[in-house]
Structure 1
Amino acid sequence: MSRRKKSHQSHGKASRPRLWGKHAVAAALDNPERKVLKAWATREGAASMQFPAEVPVTLADVADLGRLVPHDAPHQGVVIEVEPLEDIWLDGLLYNAGERAVVLVLDQVTDPHNVGAILRSVAAFGAIGIVTQDRHSPPESGALAKAASGALERVPWARVVNLARALDEIGEAGFWRIGLAGDAAGDLKDALGPPRVALVLGAEGPGLRPNTREHCDALARLPITDAVESLNVSNAAAVALYAASLG
């Protein structure tokens, strides 16, 4: 397994992403594993946060904050610069799981808004974390953290070099691996059953890669109508997580 590589950010120094928005910033401040380096805020924004004494806070107006983040980013009066979170090891994620557990595996889902929304659903339905390929997943960023609404700080995220090898390890840890595919013969509810489940989702459009499919124990589809061809991957993840939580 690889350790998480530090990524380059266009809004913030290399490997030091900037997070914005009250939920994302408050969650980062509450996370003992997160190192906050500096903060910028309006007076109202600063009053709504509990910044530690060691974090330098610069008071700024809304326009100044807008220049610290991507265009039109909804910063809500507060921006922070942070160190990326420490790496999560896949084996630690799997073997610390309980007798019943759900883990989400993403096959080359790269859009930060989708991954952020998926993290939020993972937190909402009590899954143990997500697994992605290191080179084909988004780095920590303000956009991802905003979409996650605090879940980036709470959901374990294991990044791996080789997803097929990771799926082998997931299977060896006793997880039943279900790949979500629109062309599958059976519905997800029929594939569920074992107490430990790995839900494997591919990117919109391409879906699961052939090699990823081969490393699943079963393929299943969501029972959607013909009114739409498919669901957005973050919506599909939420539905699948809800279905798995019922078991």
Structure 2
Amino acid sequence: MAGNQRRRAARTTNKKGAVVGSGGQRRKQLKGKGPTPRAADRVGHPAARRAGRSEGAGEKGGGRPGGGRGGQGGRRGGANKGSTELVAGRNSVLEALRTGVPGTALHVGSRMESDDRVRESITLATEAGIPVMESPRGELDRMTDGAVHQGLVLAVPPYDYAHPEDLLSQQLPGVPLVVALDGITDPRNLGAIVRSAGAFGAHGVVVPARRSAGLTAAAWKTSAGAAARVPVAQATNLTRALEAYRKAGFFVIGLDADGDVQLPGLELADQPLVVVVGSEGKGLSRLVRETCDQIVSIPMAAATESLNAGIATAVTLYEIARARTR
């Protein structure tokens, strides 16, 4: 119709050119973003986070204590294992703060109903110099991956491990005593062992870098603050670390139900010792067992009974401490 020809910006020719609604096909044409980047290069992708953790594990850290030293059997420079952890939930956060777990930030949900646990957590965090930040509920859900946080989340930094050789230079009173763990994968057992080590005068604890529990937030809580006083070293190869202790004059004893010597008859208690504790299920690995100078068992009333690693370590360290004070 003739009326349609008078419409503004109507197209009346077949010649190519910029027209209304063309999307700017000439000077302002849309540019592509290029090829899709690799998963490891995309921020927030699980592959990128894994790559970042592996790079961070190889960097030098401050070492704990004494900056760490190179050598066979240990990690150099106190390299950290894992990344920042999160303690979620009002009871868990309050317990962590009470036991002195070092936090980097306390996230408190905005517009949430407060109670005594929240108020005490904020007070403890402020006294410890931990930043307190108000965060929306959606952000807390994202941080905890949907876990039940009750509006309270504590960020815990990675533990700064010592080198196994650093435990040789500890200026602590008494005969040197070190606890080494072989295959302990429960962080609560690790925390209990660190607590027992502090109670009975051990100079430190050694854990393998692989197939072993690390000093996570759960281990910190179970240690009841002992992890702040007892150094924990990380060994890349536990067998080589034990051999290095033997060369330094230590006797290495392993705990096993089929030990040649029962604990009350241990004659090496007054010597520099490394007590090796295996997992409750598998016990000591073959190479570690062959490295030990003596295999010791804890006498029990029933042959079918067994003790978990944390309790077995506490009993052994107590007996060693008792023998040394006689």
What TM-score does the superposition give when structure 2 sets the normalisation length? Answer: 0.62
Query: Are the equivalent residues in 2 in contact too, given 1:18–1:69 (CA < 8 A)?
Result: no
Give the number of the structure with larger relative contact order, counting CA–CA contacts within 8 Å between residues 6 or more apart. Answer: 1
Of Structure 1 and Structure 2, the greater strand share is in 1
Of 184, 190, 205, 2:281 maps to 205
Equivalence for 1:95: 169
Of 84, 95, 102, 1:16 maps to 84
Shift of 1:180: 0.7
Query: For the residues of structure 2 that align with 1:184 and 1:49, how far apart are their CA atoms?
Result: 47
Give yes or no for the alignment of 1:220 onto 2:296: yes
Of 163, 173, 186, 1:111 maps to 186
Matches within 5 A, 1:174-193: 174-191=249-266, 192-193=268-269
Equivalence for 2:246: 171
Letter in 2 for 1:86: D
Q: Residues 193 and 28 from structure 1, CA distance in 2 versus in 1: closer, same or farther, beyond 3 angstroms?
A: closer
Structure 1: gaps of 5 or more residues: 9-14
Query: For the residues of structure 2 that align with 1:170 and 1:212, how far apart are their CA atoms?
Result: 13
Task: State the Cα deviation string for residues 133-182 of structure 1 (Å, max 9, x = none).
Answer: 10122233222222222222222111111111000111122221111111
Query: Are the equivalent residues in 1 in contact too, given 2:106–2:133 (CA < 8 A)?
Result: yes
Query: Are the equivalent residues in 1 in contact too, given 2:79–2:160 (CA < 8 A)?
Result: no
Q: Which has the larger radius of gyration?
A: 2
Query: Are the equivalent residues in 2 in contact too, given 1:40–1:60 (CA < 8 A)?
Result: no
**Number of aligned residues:** 231
Q: Residues 59 and 245 from structure 1, CA distance in 2 versus in 1: closer, same or farther, beyond 3 angstroms?
A: farther
Query: For the residues of structure 1 that align with 2:148 and 2:224, how far apart are their CA atoms?
Result: 17
SS at match of 1:114: helix
Of 118, 135, 143, 2:210 maps to 135
Shift of 1:22: 3.9
Query: For the residues of structure 2 that align with 1:187 and 1:70, how far apart are their CA atoms?
Result: 49
Equivalence for 2:23: none
Letter in 2 for 1:222: I
Equivalence for 1:242: 318
What TM-score does the superposition give when structure 1 sets the normalisation length? Answer: 0.80
Query: Are the equivalent residues in 1 in contact too, given 2:158–2:216 (CA < 8 A)?
Result: no
Letter in 2 for 1:101: P
Shift of 1:187: 0.8
Identity %: 32
Query: Are the equivalent residues in 1 in contact too, given 2:93–2:154 (CA < 8 A)?
Result: no
Q: Residues 177 and 228 from structure 1, CA distance in 2 versus in 1: closer, same or farther, beyond 3 angstroms?
A: same
Of 213, 226, 233, 2:309 maps to 233
CA RMSD of aligned residues (A): 2.9
